[in-house]
Amino acid sequence: MKAKIRLYVDHALAAGQSIPLTKEQAHYLFGVMRLAEGAFVALFNGRDGEYIARVAEAGKRRGILVCEAQSKPLQMPPDVWLCFAPIKKARTDFIVEKAAEMGAARICPMQTEFTNSERIRRDRLQAHAVEAAEQCGGTYVPEVAEIERFGRMLDNWPDDRHILFCDEALVGDKLDFESAAKGGKWAIFIGPEGGFSDAERTRLGAHPLARSISLGPRILRADTAAVAALTLWQKQCGDWQ
Ligand code: SAM
């Protein structure tokens, strides 16, 4: 049983389970990808792992798949959130896509003092996370949270989650990642193109769960910084070890 196409479905998965397709999914599988009855598709829903399913009915606007067997168990990512200030649309899309591919457990847009874009389409960003999981072979889809103000986010901060504060003011300092990040739950904080304000830097600096780090000798764009910080964290504390 070989499946070239992976599809996220919002439906429980188990051997023998029938999965009705949405109009869009039927169009994609049978109109665009030209699958016919009897073909195989890999399905995941973020909860039950991955299943190989057979096309039982293929119509223009509808279709039914039947799960045959589980092909991968659910693989949860390590417990790291990416908290970032949205930037331009395409670069924000990039951050969400890369965070999902790289194994962030949750993606939290935050409104900082120097954040330019106040509005984001959460549903659009969530769809990017789903697409990234479909193409990278992941069985988990990180939730994209509603955008939240920086101050409010810290007011309600969980008392067991460490913060890895990527502080551009430390540019050029030695990257002391090993002593900054150890086990437990984490969140990476990345500022907007204008950086963190002095007040935000002071607040994070005083936070008992926050550790400030430098990301090397050059100032990185926010999207590059998000990928760099996730890479370092995954290597040191996550599932790339
Ligand atoms: N406008 C700021 C400046 O010129 O100092 C730069 C902000 S940078 C484009 C966006 C975010 O990426 C920063 O807020 C920080 O979180 C992260 N970042 C970029 N380069 C960094 C570095 N060398 N060390 C630590 N964080 C960095």
DSSP H helices in the chain: 23-26, 89-102, 122-136, 150-155, 177-180, 198-206, 222-236
Q: Give the nearest ligand 1 atom to 221 CA.
A: 9
Q: Hey, where are the domains in the chain?
A: 6-72, 80-236
Question: What is the per-residue pLDDT across 83-101, written as a single tens digit (0 to 9) for each?
Answer: 999 999 999 999 999 999 9
Q: Which of 60-69, 73-82, 174-183 has the lowest mean pLDDT?
A: 174-183
CATH 3.40.630.180 given to domain 6-72: no
* pLDDT over 80 (residue 14): yes
pLDDT band at 116 (very low <50, low <70, confident <90, very high): confident
Measured distance CA(1)–CA(100) in Å, rounded: 27
* Ligand 1 pocket check for 174: Cβ under 6 Å: no
Helix (H, G, I), strand (E, B) or coil at 223: helix
- Token code pair at residue 191: 């500022």
* Ligand 1 pocket check for 186: Cβ under 6 Å: no
**Nearest to residue 226, comparing CAs of 107, 60, 56, 88?**
107
Measured distance CA(91)–CA(135) in Å, rounded: 19
Residue nearest atom 1 of ligand 1, based on CA coordinates: 194
Burial (0-12, 13-18, 19+ Cβ within 10 Å), 152: exposed
pLDDT band at 117 (very low <50, low <70, confident <90, very high): confident
Query: What is this structure's pTM?
Result: 0.94
Mean of per-residue pLDDT scores for the chain:
95
**Nearest to residue 48, comparing CAs of 18, 77, 70?**
70
Helix (H, G, I), strand (E, B) or coil at 84: strand
Burial (0-12, 13-18, 19+ Cβ within 10 Å), 158: exposed
Best of 166, 174, 211 for a ligand 1 pocket test (most atoms within 8 Å of beta carbon): 166
Q: Which CATH number is 80-236's, of 3.90.650.10, 3.40.630.40, 3.40.1280.10, 3.40.190.10?
A: 3.40.1280.10
* Ligand 1 pocket check for 86: Cβ under 6 Å: no
Best of 83, 175, 220 for a ligand 1 pocket test (most atoms within 8 Å of beta carbon): 220
* Ligand 1 pocket check for 194: Cβ under 6 Å: yes
Mean pLDDT, residues 209-213: 94
With the CA atoms of 198, 151, 187 and 205 taken in that order, what torsion angle do they form, in degrees rounded to the nearest 10? Answer: 40
- pLDDT of the residue at 179: 67
Question: What is the per-residue pLDDT across 125-170, written as a single tens digit (0 to 9) for each?
Answer: 999 999 999 999 999 999 999 999 999 999 999 999 999 999 999 9
Residue 237 Cα to ligand 1 midpoint, Å, equals 22
Mean pLDDT, residues 171-187: 79
- pLDDT of the residue at 199: 98
Q: What is the CA radius of gyration of the chain?
A: 20
- pLDDT of the residue at 118: 66
Q: Give the nearest ligand 1 atom to 192 CA.
A: 10
pLDDT band at 2 (very low <50, low <70, confident <90, very high): confident
Mean pLDDT, residues 179-189: 84
* Ligand 1 pocket check for 219: Cβ under 6 Å: yes
- pLDDT of the residue at 201: 97
